[in-house]
């Protein structure tokens, strides 16, 4: 199996480093095209979320190739230290993908967003034509595993996420959301979820702004809020008690001076900034202002702690499902691996049989139909009997290493053509 | 009459017992992690403080009814009164906001004041001058003291909630661990509001108390001596108090700054209390 995965995530790097690598949705087609052009890359997928940037390829690429690709795709900015990246191959890469899809590798285990993000990444790769049979197989299986983990464990019954963190922080700062105004800045999925949750928890007013006003208006209409253009942020920002930001902007949209301006106009009433964007939308210096509290995605696990132990127990159940799904995937994957070999063996045997039979027929001269049939049956049965044991051995080898060895052996012993795949 | 006085002392001690029980319950509740149990124990704490309040009130009323306004009882009466007023404030605030952790700061203060008020009159005091004697039988002096104490009680609540505000705000800024105890404090907005409303109630009362005091000083001593430390500190505390409220109205000073300012104000008030012995006008009653 020639899967290779290279990534950086919240486990290995802080947000300051991750945000330099983030690839916004709009940049994906270009990046995928670039990825497909890399030497040794036959199929490829790019997953870029708040918490991780991962590149999954099928082919003969090396981790260093993917690092070069990332550097090129993100505009040649200096990459984080190589130690920040992990790279996994074959089975390990598949397992990692399954765990990511099932939210077992997430900052907030059990959060539902990552699966949607992976599906979007898949759709983008399909659109860019970089998905082939191999990635199709492993991704389909990963989605299936994620679905099983969600439905068969209680991992998602505590939908712990930005939304809950927002509610908890609002409780600590404002005592609750009653009579509070929420401003949603950007139209990202995570922000939308959080805003909807806050409204359900009793926030009284929702304001929405976005780079494209229509999108903001659509969102505002959906949740009974009011929309305004992004360039009016400075006028309206002060109205918000809670600001949720989730744009794909490369630079912070709320600078320290903006926040200071809001706070002065609010006469010091506190403001909570929930920055779920990567790269960040709120200048971290805003947190230093009196009465301003800025929490980014990395701070989330600090905020949400409820039922951590329970969720860990559920995560263990999830891991078991992942292993089961993984072995199923590997079996099918490997069964498919040996098919060309089996077929080549049979084809070769048949070719030999036919060739020998032709030679014999020339020497013997005309034969009766009965004789022809008898010889045909004899040779065929000889070949089948002779091949039966090797074929079964290869097909049912217990481990992948065994199977690989047998396939290799078959190729050598029978002189099978090399590029049978 | 003597037995009535004895009774009043007994009631004050019963009150102290309840306050201490309330403090113990509040500490126990704060250490409890289980939510339901915590609610119940905090309920107990509040009930104990309320009971203490009632007994203290009865005790004070009896002392006054006994007209035992001798110099020996005077100090007891005013410390008891201060404890009573703070307890009343605390119960009112608690009713409105139930800021549990605030009880850990305020109830100990009530306990200390009540304990001071239950000390046996030592009789070591020499007794006030004839002028003070006549003043003690004049109700206005109690109005003066009560009003100033009410102002101080408001300040105590403001300082208590201000300190908690500083702790809670620090925890939020530091993004401290969610299981850390600071995260269980009341919300910033609630603490700020408690402080502000306490100041709002306390300020006019303190002002009235000071005006009455000034009026009496004028009648008795022919004017207010600004060199008198108690007077000076009280006026300073009053000005900071005023600045505190004004800064909030005009400049939106709240939260951290407000908490720091109320600490300054409280410090001045406390200094004024201890400076009573140095004050020509106020030491009359303490000799």
| Mean pLDDT, range B251-257, rounded to an integer | 81
**Contact of A411 with A418, CB cutoff 8 Å:** yes
CA distance to A298, A306, B172, B230, per residue, from B176 (Å): 13, 15, 7, 43
pLDDT tens digit string along B69-108?
A: 555 566 777 788 888 888 888 888 777 766 677 788 888 8
Co-location of A141 and A179 in the same domain: no
Provide the pLDDT confidence category of residue A79 given band limits of 50, 70 and 90.
confident
Q: Looking at B94, B126, B158, which one is the last position of a domain?
A: B126
Give the number of domains in chain B: 2
d(CA A162, CA B265): 41
CB atoms within 10 A of CB B177: 12
Mean pLDDT across chain B = 78
Share of chain A above pLDDT 70, in %: 93
Same-domain pairing of A132 and A175: no
As a whole number of angstroms, the distance between CA A139 and CA B72 comes to 88
* Domain identity same for B154 and B190: yes
Instruction: Please say which residue of A121, A152, A183 terminates a domain.
Output: A152
A132 with A15, same domain? yes
Are the CB atoms for B78 and B113 separated by under 8 Å? Answer: no
Beta bridge partners of A9: A52
What is the C-alpha to C-alpha distance for residues A82 and A80, in angstroms, rounded to an integer? 6
CA A98 – CA A325 distance, rounded (Å): 9
Q: Domain range spanning residue A90?
A: 3-152
A351's CB contacts (< 8 A; 6+ apart) are: none
* Residue-range definition of the domain harbouring residue B179: 128-287
Query: Could you give the number of structural domains in chain A?
Result: 3
The answer to whether residue A246 is catalytic is no
Interface test with B, best of A167, A268, A297, A308 (most B CBs within 10 A): A268
Structural domain includes residue A118: yes
- What's the confidence (pLDDT) of residue A176? 87
Dmax (CA) for chain B in angstroms is 63
> Among the listed ranges A65-79, A358-372, A386-400, B41-55, which one has the minimum average pLDDT value?
A386-400
Please answer whether residues A76 and A157 qualify as being in contact, where contact means their C-beta atoms are separated by less than 8 angstroms: no
Q: Is A114 part of a structural domain of the chain?
A: yes
Residue B168 with chain A: CB contacts under 8 Å: 172
Give me the pLDDT at residue B1, please: 45
CATH number at residue A229: 3.40.50.720
Do B173 and B271 belong to one domain?
A: yes
Give Cβ neighbours of residue A53 (< 8 Å, ≥ 6 apart).
A7, A8, A9, A18, A21, A22, A23, A46, A47, A70
In sign, the C-alpha dihedral spanning A85, A89, A92, A95 is positive
Interface of A with B in 274-293 (CB under 8 A): 287, 290-291, 293
Pair A136, A168 in one domain: no
Indicate the pLDDT class of residue A4, thresholds 50, 70 and 90.
Answer: very high
Q: Considering the entire predicted model, what is its pTM?
A: 0.64
Closest chain A residue by Cα to residue B97: A175
Residues B81 and B193 in one domain: no
Residue B39 phi, psi dihedral angles, 5° rounding = -55, -45
The better pLDDT of the pair A122, B86 is held by A122
- Owner of token pair 């203060």: B109
Same domain for A134 and A174?
no
| pLDDT at B123 exceeding the cut of 50 | no
pLDDT for B218 beyond 80: no
pLDDT > 70? residue B179: no
Same structural domain, A168 and A144: no
User: So what's the pLDDT on residue B140?
Assistant: 73
Q: For residue B255, what are the CA distances in angstroms to A262, B157, B159, B259? A: 16, 14, 11, 6
A304 touching B (Cβ < 8 Å): yes
Cα–Cα distance measured from residue A275 to residue A284, given in angstroms and rounded to the nearest whole number: 10
Last residue of a domain, one of B126, B143, B164: B126
How confident is the model over A75-86, as a mean pLDDT? 86
* A259 and A338 both lie in a single domain: no
């Amino acid at each position: 199996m020639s899967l290779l995965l290279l990534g950086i995530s919240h486990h290995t790097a802080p947000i300051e480093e991750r945000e330099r690598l983030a690839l916004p949705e709009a940049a994906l087609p270009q990046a995928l095209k670039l990825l497909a052009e890399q030497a040794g890359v036959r199929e490829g997928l790019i997953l870029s979320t708040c918490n991780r940037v991962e590149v999954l390829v099928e082919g003969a690429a090396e981790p260093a190739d993917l690092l070069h690709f990332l550097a090129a795709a993100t505009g040649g900015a200096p990459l984080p230290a190589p130690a920040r990246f992990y790279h996994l191959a074959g089975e390990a890469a598949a397992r990692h993908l399954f765990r990511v899809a099932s939210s077992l590798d997430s900052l907030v285990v059990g959060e539902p967003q990552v699966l949607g993000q992976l599906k979007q990444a898949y759709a983008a790769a399909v659109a860019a034509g970089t998905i082939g049979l191999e990635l199709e197989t492993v991704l389909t299986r990963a989605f299936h595993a994620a679905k099983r983990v969600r439905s068969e464990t209680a991992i998602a019954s505590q939908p712990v996420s930005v939304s809950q963190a927002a509610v908890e922080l609002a409780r600590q700062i404002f005592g609750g959301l009653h009579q509070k105004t929420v401003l949603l800045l950007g139209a990202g999925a995570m922000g939308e979820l959080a805003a909807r949750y806050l409204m359900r928890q009793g926030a009284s007013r929702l304001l929405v702004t976005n780079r494209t006003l229509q999108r903001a208006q659509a969102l505002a209409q959906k949740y009974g809020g009011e929309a305004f253009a992004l360039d009016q942020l400075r006028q309206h920002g002060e109205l918000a008690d809670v600001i949720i930001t989730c744009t794909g902007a490369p630079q912070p949209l709320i600078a320290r001076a903006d926040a200071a301006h809001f706070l002065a106009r609010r006469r010091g009433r506190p403001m909570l900034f929930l920055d779920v964007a990567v790269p960040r939308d709120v200048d971290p210096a805003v947190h230093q202002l009196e009465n301003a509290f800025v929490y980014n995605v990395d701070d989330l696990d600090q905020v949400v702690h409820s039922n951590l132990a329970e969720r860990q127990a559920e995560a263990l159940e999830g891991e078991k499902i992942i292993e089961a799904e993984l072995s199923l995937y590997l079996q099918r994957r490997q069964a498919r691996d040996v098919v060309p070999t089996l077929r080549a063996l049979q084809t070769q045997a048949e070719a030999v049989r036919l060739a020998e039979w032709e030679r014999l027929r020339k020497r013997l001269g005309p034969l009766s139909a009965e004789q022809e049939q008898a010889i045909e049956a004899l040779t065929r049965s000889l070949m089948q009997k002779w091949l039966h044991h090797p074929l079964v051995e290869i097909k049912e080898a217990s481990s992948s290493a065994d199977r690989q060895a047998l396939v290799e052996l078959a190729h050598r012993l029978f002189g099978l053509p090399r590029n049978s795949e | 009459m003597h037995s009535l006085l004895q009774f009043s002392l007994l009631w004050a001690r019963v009150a102290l017992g309840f306050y201490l029980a309330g403090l113990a319950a509040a500490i126990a509740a704060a250490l409890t992690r289980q939510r339901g149990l915590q609610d119940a124990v905090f309920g107990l704490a509040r009930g104990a403080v309320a009971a203490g309040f009632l007994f203290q009130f009865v005790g004070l009323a009896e002392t006054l009814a006994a007209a035992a306004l001798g110099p020996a009882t005077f100090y007891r009466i005013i410390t008891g009164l201060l404890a009573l007023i703070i307890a009343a404030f605390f119960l009112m605030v608690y009713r409105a906001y139930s800021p549990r952790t605030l009880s850990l700061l305020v109830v100990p203060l009530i306990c200390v004041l009540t304990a001071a008020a239950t000390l046996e009159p030592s009789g070591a005091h020499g007794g006030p001058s004839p002028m003070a004697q006549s003043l003690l039988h004049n109700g206005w002096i109690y109005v003066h003291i009560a009003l100033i104490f009410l102002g101080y009680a408001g300040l105590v609540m403001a300082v208590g909630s201000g300190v908690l505000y500083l702790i809670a705000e620090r925890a939020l800024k530091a993004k401290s661990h969610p299981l850390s105890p600071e995260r269980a404090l009341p919300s910033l907005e609630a603490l700020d509001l408690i402080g502000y409303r306490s100041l709002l109630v306390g300020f006019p009362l303190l002002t009235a108390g000071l005006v009455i005091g000034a009026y009496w000083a004028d009648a008795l001593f022919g004017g207010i001596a600004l060199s008198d430390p108690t007077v000076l500190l009280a006026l300073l505390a009053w000005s900071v108090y005023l600045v505190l409220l004004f800064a909030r109205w005009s400049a939106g000073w709240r939260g951290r700054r407000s908490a720091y300012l109320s600490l300054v104000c409280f410090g001045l008030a406390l200094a004024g209390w201890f400076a009573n012995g140095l004050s020509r006008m106020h030491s009359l009653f303490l000799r």
